[in-house]
Amino acid sequence: MAELDTSGGGKHKGGKVRSKKASTRVDLTAMVDLAFLLITFFMLTTTLAKSKAMDMVMPDKDDKTKDQLAVAESRTMTVLLGSHDKIEWYMGLPGKSAPIVDHFGKDGLRKALTENGSKVKAEHGGQPMIVLIKPSDKSTYANFVAALDELNITGIDIHAVVDIMPIEVEDLKKNGLY
């Protein structure tokens, strides 16, 4: 293969006929190729198998302390997670304004979050918006993660996952999302 025949060759005029001595060297090129291929494979697979995660912090659920911070209702936006990958959102207190049915994605929740976020900031002198996520019993885990993802993308730091209220479940039912 990669080895050239450097022996003189063709000098067998008379004299003794010698048996050709076989070289003891083995060509290792193919073996090295294979070894490096396997190394590459193992390196790539080990880094891919490492699991990735998102950190999550839940509000402290202490039944004893009742001193909870009052939040301006006009600064809060509530996102209800319904069935069929649909959401509803409204600003302020439940029941006061009609919730808007929306979907996940760029033109849905993300747009709503960005628009409401800047509106709240403008109206409250730069104070950020607070988002409450209320997953209903009919929503999936994927919806929950997707909603948190949208908050992360839009850069809304103040958010919490809260239990859904009966009045909100009723509203989801009315819109066929429960």
Partner 1 sequence: MPRVKIARKSTATDMTAMCDVAFLLLTFFILTSKFKTADPVPVDIPGYTHTVVLPEDNIATLTIGQGKVFFGVEGIPIRKQMLEEVGKLYNITFTPEETNTFITMPTFGMPITQLKGYLSMDPDKRKEIQQPGIPTDSARAELFNWIKQARVADVVLNQKALRITIKGDAKQEYPTIKTVIATLQRQKVNKFSLITALKAAPKP
Which of 16, 21, 25, 64 is the binder for partner 1 (CB under 8 A)? 25
- Indicate whether 146 belongs to the interface with partner 1 (CB under 8 A): yes
Helix (H) or strand (E) holding 78: strand 76-81
153, 156, 160, 165 alpha-carbon torsion, rounded to 10°: -90
3-class secondary structure, 146: helix
> What are the angstrom distances between the C-alpha of 140 and each of 31, 49, 57, 64, 88?
51, 25, 19, 31, 15
Q: What is the rounded distance in angstroms from the CA atom of residue 100 to the CA atom of residue 79?
A: 10
CB of 48: closest distance to partner 1 in angstroms? 9
Here's the x/- map for partner 1, 148-177, by CB under 8 A: it reads as xx--xx---------x--------------
CB of 6: closest distance to partner 1 in angstroms? 6
Q: What is the total residue count of the chain?
A: 178
- Indicate whether 38 belongs to the interface with partner 1 (CB under 8 A): yes
For helices 141-154 and 111-123, what crossing angle results, to 10°? 50
3-class secondary structure, 107: helix
CB of 62: closest distance to partner 1 in angstroms? 9
- Indicate whether 4 belongs to the interface with partner 1 (CB under 8 A): yes
- Indicate whether 36 belongs to the interface with partner 1 (CB under 8 A): yes
Here's the x/- map for partner 1, 46-85, by CB under 8 A: it reads as x--xxxxxxxxxxxxx-------------------x----
Q: Which residues bind partner 1 (CB under 8 A)?
A: 2-4, 6, 25, 27-29, 31-32, 35-36, 38-39, 42-43, 45-46, 49-61, 81, 106, 110, 135-146, 148-149, 152-153, 163
